[in-house]
C-alpha cells in the first residue's frame, strides 16, 4: 500500500465524517419526536460503528488505489460514495426529510456495493473488508425507510 494513497483516502474519509457529523442532532426535539422502529439501535451505537467503518473505508480504499491503475475509476467511485455518505446526514438531519433520506440511503448502498466490487478487483481482502460497510448501508436504508413510513 502506498502511503500517499492512505493519506489521501484517510483525509477524504475524515472530511466526510466531519461534514456529516456537523448535521447530526440526536438529542434534538425533532429527532426525539420521530416515530422510530423498535429495532433501531440506541444513538450511542452509531458513533463507534461509523468510526470503525470509516477506518475500514480509508484502508481498503488505500489498498485499492495502490493496486489499480489510475483509470480504473476507483477514485471517482470513492468520491461519489463519500458524497452520498455525507449527503445522507444533511438530507435526514439538515433538511429533515426522512423519505428523501431513504432514497439517498438506497443510492449509498448501491454505491457501496459498486465500491466493494471495484476494491475486490484490486485485492480480494480489500473488497471483503468493505462488506460490513455495505451491510451497514443496507441496514441504514431499511431504518431510513422505516422512519420515513412512520413519519410521512
pLDDT, one tens digit per residue, over 82-133 is: 999 999 999 999 999 999 999 999 999 999 999 999 999 999 999 999 999 9
Domains (range + CATH), the chain? 3-150 (1.20.1260.100)
- CA–CA dist 39, 72 (Å, integer): 39
pTM of the complete model: 0.94
Q: Please give the pLDDT value at position 51.
A: 97
Evaluate whether 134 touches 113 at the Cβ level (below 8 Å): yes
Task: Give backbone dihedrals phi and psi of 40, rounded to 5 degrees, phi first.
Answer: -70, 130
Q: How far apart are the first and last CA of the chain?
A: 47
Per-residue pLDDT tens over the stretch 34-53: 999 999 999 999 999 999 99
pLDDT at 1 over 80: no
Amino acid at each position: 500500500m502506498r502511503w500517499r494513497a492512505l493519506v489521501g483516502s484517510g483525509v477524504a474519509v475524515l472530511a466526510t465524517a466531519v461534514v456529516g457529523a456537523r448535521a447530526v442532532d440526536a438529542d434534538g426535539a425533532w429527532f426525539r419526536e420521530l416515530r422510530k422502529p423498535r429495532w433501531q439501535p440506541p444513538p450511542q451505537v452509531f458513533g463507534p460503528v461509523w468510526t470503525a467503518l470509516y477506518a475500514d473505508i480509508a484502508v481498503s480504499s488505500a489498498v485499492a488505489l495502490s493496486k489499480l491503475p489510475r483509470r480504473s475509476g476507483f477514485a471517482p467511485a470513492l468520491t461519489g460514495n463519500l458524497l452520498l455518505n455525507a449527503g445522507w446526514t444533511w438530507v435526514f438531519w439538515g433538511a429533515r426529510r426522512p423519505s428523501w433520506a431513504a432514497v439517498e440511503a438506497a443510492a449509498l448502498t448501491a454505491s457501496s456495493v459498486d465500491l466493494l466490487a471495484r476494491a475486490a478487483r484490486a485485492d480480494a481482502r480489500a473488497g471483503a473488508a468493505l462488506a460490513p460497510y455495505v451491510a451497514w448501508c443496507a441496514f441504514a436504508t431499511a431504518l431510513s425507510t422505516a422512519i420515513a413510513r412512520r413519519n410521512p
